[in-house]
Amino acid sequence: MKRVQQLVLAVALAAVSGACDEQLSDVAGPSPDLRTTFTSIQREIFSTTDSSGRLACTQCHTDVGRVPPVNLVLLEGRAYANLVGRASNQKPGATLVVPGDPDASYLIHKLEGRADIVGQRMPRTTGPFLTEGQIRIIRRWIELGAVND
């Protein structure tokens, strides 16, 4: 009986988790293909200017012909290693992405424009900024362990 209960619980958790991600995809706004994977975040957020006019992060965060802001390179193949578990070059004691903990991840603070950030909200302009839905999807990726998938 206990084994059946564990199986039912596992199936229920999987269904809820899948449903949660499905709901997130519905709020992706100007990035309709955005999913809770690093590959998707790299492609749809870091490397792409979206339909709202928000510039790709790699427009600034590149070391091709320039020194990127706070030495943070978000180019494909390098962004993950430069974000996950890495200390912020801008705010002492802050970690850019803390797997499993979006509230402790300085990347989220910068994207949301929280009062504790050093410098400007990202992307560094007056906007358009990421939508609430886009940020929720990045938060969910971090909650799920910030896997390089």
Tell me whether residue 64 is in a domain: yes
Confidence of residue 19 (pLDDT cuts 50, 70, 90): very low
Return the pLDDT at 9: 41
Total domains present in the chain? 1
Helix, coil or strand: residue 46: helix
Tell me whether residue 54 is in a domain: yes
pTM listed for this prediction: 0.82
By mean pLDDT, which of 1-10, 36-45, 111-120 is the weakest? 1-10
Angle, CA 122 vertex, CA 106 and CA 137 arms, to 5°: 65
Return the pLDDT at 139: 97
Tell me whether residue 123 is in a domain: yes
Arithmetic mean of pLDDT over the chain: 87
* Cβ count within 10 A of residue 48: 18
Domain boundaries, position 17: 2-143
Tell me whether residue 149 is in a domain: no
* Cβ count within 10 A of residue 128: 14
